[in-house]
Structure 1
């Protein structure tokens, strides 16, 4: 059976469902990430905090929480755990003494680098069905899409977006189907 564009992929609505595709890839990535990062405080989330803190200039907890989509309270506990094992430090922000900047220790920088390399092997395995060029293109497209989605998040009212799409679909179904031609009535006799 051939796909809609003449390829060898069978035509099946699930194969074209973005949610299904992203879900399969997400679950596979999560399994690999858990295996690779599970011993870090916070697991994959703790790793994301390390990567987010590995930037110049250093950023405060609020900025990191917003970027990663982590509740500030949860992030505080993650940073506490990472600080306890010597991977991050909190230091007062010279521009705002009430704010704390999160920075990596040397051990944190080494750990982040080692884990980044190991996780890259997991990701390369996950993308092994693609050529190097295709994998690079996919990463670039996902990065662009994720950055665009990040600017929309939090969507002011996701319910409104869903309702608008549902209303549009419902109205389209209620409209009478256009006639393909004018039906002729039988001539009166």
Structure 2
């Protein structure tokens, strides 16, 4: 059997230490290019999509929780929300648990827009994974998800947006 099958726990999966970073960077670059194209007409682009998706799928209790979930500075989040409110895809309402805070909710138009953009993003992701067998693509998604959760657990303030911006 090859050396890659008999690796010690904690050793790199790359043939050469450091190659893992290059591999991840190339995959992220390929993803970013496709993702940007898929959401190009979305109000506020990638971050607008991420905000709308989090509002719909995560239902954060208030604007502060939304910003914390996405690791977006509150000033930047305010500008993003302004763009999404102006586009008619989200609304700010008083938070039920604290009337001084604001909860962000999607409008019917916003939910419709998100569904359309999710189809485009899914097609972009399928295009990126087209070179893999279906089972390998599914396994990659599961493993990347586990790795992301572990990184988030050990670095809860880490910003995926910042990582993409600095790629």
Q: TM-score range by the shorter chain?
A: 0.7 to 0.9
- Measure, in 1, the Cα distance between the counterparts of 2:125 and 2:59: 28
Residue pairs, 1:30-179, within 5 angstroms: 30-55=32-57, 57-154=59-156
Task: Tell me the SS of whatever aligns to 1:55.
Answer: helix
- Measure, in 1, the Cα distance between the counterparts of 2:144 and 2:15: 23
User: Does the aligned pair in 2 maintain the 1:58–1:103 contact within 8 Å?
Assistant: no
CA shift, 1:80, in A, is: 0.7
- The match for 2:16 is 13
The unaligned stretches of length 5 or more in structure 1 are 157-189
Higher helix share: 2
User: Does the aligned pair in 1 maintain the 2:31–2:128 contact within 8 Å?
Assistant: yes
- Measure, in 1, the Cα distance between the counterparts of 2:78 and 2:41: 19
After alignment, is 112-121 or 57-66 more displaced? Answer: 57-66
Which structure has the bigger radius of gyration?
A: 1
Task: Tell me the SS of whatever aligns to 2:99.
Answer: strand
- Measure, in 2, the Cα distance between the counterparts of 1:56 and 1:65: 12
Q: Does 1:29 align with 2:41?
A: no
Task: Tell me the SS of whatever aligns to 2:41.
Answer: coil
Provide closer, same or farther for how the CA distance between residues 5 and 142 of structure 1 changes in structure 2, counting only shifts above 3 A: closer
User: Does the aligned pair in 1 maintain the 2:71–2:157 contact within 8 Å?
Assistant: no
Deviations 1:22-61 (A, max 9, x none): 1111111111111111221221111000100003644311
- Measure, in 2, the Cα distance between the counterparts of 1:133 and 1:40: 31
- Measure, in 2, the Cα distance between the counterparts of 1:62 and 1:4: 48
TM-score, with length taken from structure 2: 0.80
TM-score, with length taken from structure 1: 0.71
CA shift, 1:103, in A, is: 0.9
Deviations 1:83-128 (A, max 9, x none): 1010001110121011111111011101111111111111111011
